[in-house]
């Protein structure tokens, strides 16, 4: 399955933050939106980074309560690894496993068009396996 098919099913909603948003504000948004990561966009709406729950835990562990008032730019991952719509689920699962990341923003022609999580990819693989098993059962019993 291709990333574009996953985005077609799940939608292209991407929750974003600005580099100057506080760690506390972004943590509250992650919790309220029930997501594990947000893409950080600069004033030109270009991807400046990505921030995950892990990044927030790390800054609070390092700086204590003072970490919560820091701008999210202080703890976001600046070297963002992207996915493209034509890539396969297997390609992304390998990349995410190797890099130990759980979210990949999806870009087309340098423009953010969605985000996929490891959960989205695993769900897709399970659905693919179930469909294959059903097809085999139908073939055998026909």
pLDDT value for 120: 94
pLDDT value for 70: 97
Class of domain 3-141 (CATH, top level): alpha beta
Give per-residue burial for 56-82: e unless 16+ CB within 10 Å, then b: beebbeeeeeebbeebbbebbbeebeb
Give, in order, the Cα–Cα distances in Å from 74 to each of 40, 48, 97: 12, 12, 25
pLDDT value for 30: 97
Instruction: Give yes or no for a contact between 49 and 26, defined as CB atoms under 8 angstroms apart.
Output: no
Tokens for 100, please give them: 């130990």
Q: Where are the domains of the chain?
A: 3-141
pLDDT value for 43: 93
Could you list the mean pLDDT of each consecutive 10-residue stretch along the chain, which spans 142 residues? 92 94 97 96 94 96 96 96 95 94 93 94 88 78 74
As beta bridge partners, residue 109 has none
Q: Using the 8-state DSSP alphabet, how is residue 104 labeled?
A: E
- H/E stretch holding 49 reads strand 47-52
pLDDT value for 41: 96
Q: Is 107 left (phi over 0), alpha (psi -120 to 50) or beta?
A: beta
pLDDT value for 79: 94
């Amino acid at each position: 399955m291709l990333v574009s098919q996953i985005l077609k099913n799940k939608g292209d909603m991407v929750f974003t933050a600005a580099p100057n948003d506080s760690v506390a504000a972004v943590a509250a948004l992650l919790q309220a939106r029930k997501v594990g990561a947000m893409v950080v966009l600069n004033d030109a709406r270009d991807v400046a980074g990505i921030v995950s729950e892990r990044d927030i835990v790390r800054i609070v562990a390092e700086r204590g309560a003072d970490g919560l008032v820091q701008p999210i730019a202080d703890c976001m991952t600046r070297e963002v690894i992207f996915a493209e719509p034509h890539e396969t689920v297997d390609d992304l699962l390998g990349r995410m496993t190797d890099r130990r990341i759980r979210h990949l923003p999806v870009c087309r022609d340098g423009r953010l068009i969605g985000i996929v999580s490891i959960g989205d990819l695993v769900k897709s693989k399970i659905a693919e396996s179930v469909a294959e098993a059903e097809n085999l059962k139908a073939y055998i019993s026909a």
